[in-house]
Amino acid sequence: MSPDPLARIQRQIMWNRLIAVVEEQAQTMIRTAFSTTVREAGDLSAGIFDTQGRMMAQAVTGTPGHVNSMAESVGHFLRKFPLETLRPGDHLITNDPWLGTGHLHDLTVVTPAFHAGRPIGLFANTAHVIDIGGLGMGPEGRSVFEEGLYIPIVKCFDQGRPNETFFDFVRAGSRLPVELEGDIYSLCACNDAGARRLAAMLAEFELDSLDALAEHIFAASRAATLAEIARLPRGTWRSDIWSDGYDEPIRLAAALTTGEDAIMVDFAGTSGLANRGINVPPAYTRAYASFGLKCVIAPEVPNNWASLAPFRMTIPEGCILNAPRPYPVSVRHVIGHLLPDLMMGCLFQAIPDRVTAEGASALWNPPLRGGASVAGQARPNRPVIGEFEITTFNSGGTGARPRRDGLDATAFPSGVRTMPVEATENVAPVIFWRKELRPDSGGAGRFRGGLGQVMEIGTKGDLAFAVNAIFDRVAHPPKGRAGGRDGAPGAVRLKSGAVLRTKGYQVIPDGDRLILELPGGGGYGDPAERDPAAVARDIRDGLVSPPAAARP
């Protein structure tokens, strides 16, 4: 028998309270993080898990790649450290791409939560750090062992005491030892904050455990997701999408089948593994493919273990979406961020009025490096800048929606915030000379694609620096839907005119600057059907030029 109405209301209040607990967990990390990627962009995740390692709730702040792959991570931690062996003050950590969130630059920390002297659940979080050693953030590695310091699942704190041997290795293996150590402390503080709030919540509601609440959350979430799946037409739909790849294009293919109690996706036909760091571990593939499905099919259902369970993936061995150890995976997001658009390409054939056009997808977050390691020996009458390593997050335009224009310079599917240039200039000797919307970059349509942006980046004194390019959508721009036009492709070049490769380590010489032209989103619907008032507004605001607006 279902609980009485008052009990259902109380459980919903507790569920909402749990979401507030994990949001405070995430905000603690943002307030205490050293890395600008966390503090300014929100490239993180935070969540609470039951004693079986099933995700009950996630913070609103966070990326799908972190959240949904972290949802698989806690089970790996419990296999290494069973819950009954853990004590208050223990913090476990890893950056293993196949046990965490897909590459070495993401640290995942898991912490047991106790109440009345016994473990009642776990808190977990993930954050992207600026530097983890090795070749740095970029696609150049030919093995994961070249990409940075590889941390197995270990205790970074044992009953509140730091593991000094662990921290010695971490500090010695990074170009930014202070920032990296500070971020680890921040991750642990984040989980501690969640554990304190959870203890207060349990005391307030006079609960001894989370078991009953977990079962309520899982039952309600699964039922709501299955109800949405039941509304879909039955069938199998196929689609593909192309990435620029590293030295050759990459095809991502999917066949999506709707069943009574599940959505099945088969990635047969996808290109094989690459010899550079654009490969994707399977957990990250499942994370972003599930997110793309959930956005369309069940966007209002809270994200947790049960609401994700009906989305099932078959990822063939040997394809780029199922990278085994020790393949390089440093910039797995370049491919992984295309997966929601791939899922929507399938769903467009079944429910076209709920699917957007393709967008810029992969972030344009250039890792920048400078100092003597790039510029070489100091020369007479030339200033010297210190060594620096920095990453800044930026986005192109999103695809147009069935009833609205796309969003300008907005991250989808990652959801991270664009970093203020002032924040980056404050921590590194770089200057952003230009950062502005890119006119005519949004694909034409009844509803216009979102605009990309143009960025011009140099260093103080215009000294040489390097970019580890990790860009896409240059050779294969975002496609429009339902007659909408494609968005503008991206471009990577020097101010002096030379065209740069879209991926790989390259030096911007003395006196020159890096120019990034970010892609725009695809349009939706016939451009001839666009409201004339909207066209006039676009021209007036400088978003579309008169010649582009007049183009048939």
pLDDT tens across 401-444, in order?
999 999 999 999 999 998 999 999 999 999 999 999 999 999 99
Furthest-apart CA atoms within the chain: distance in Å: 84
Give residue for tokens 């609401």. Answer: 307
Cβ atoms 142, 328 nearer than 8 A: yes
Count CB-CB contacts under 10 A for residue 375: 20
Distance CA 164, CA 355 (A): 51
- Domain spans in the chain, listed from the N-terminal domain onward: 5-221, 360-552
Cβ atoms 411, 501 nearer than 8 A: no
The mean pLDDT of 254-261, rounded to a whole number, is: 96
Distance CA 248, CA 250 (A): 7
Tell me if the domain spanning 5-221 has CATH number 1.10.10: no
Q: Output the six-digit token pair for 209.
A: 């455990």
Dump pLDDT digits (tens) for 474-499. 999 999 999 999 999 999 999 999 99
Task: State the SS3 of 140-199.
Answer: CCCCHHHCCCCCCCEEEEECCEECHHHHHHHHHCCCCHHHHHHHHHHHHHHHHHHHHHHH
Cβ atoms 217, 306 nearer than 8 A: yes
pTM of the model: 0.96
The mean pLDDT of 351-368, rounded to a whole number, is: 96
Q: Kindly give, in sequence order, each residue whose CB lies less than 8 Å from that of residue 453, ignoring residues fewer than 6 positions away.
A: 394, 395, 396, 408, 409, 435, 436, 437, 438, 518
Dump pLDDT digits (tens) for 170-190. 999 999 999 999 999 999 999
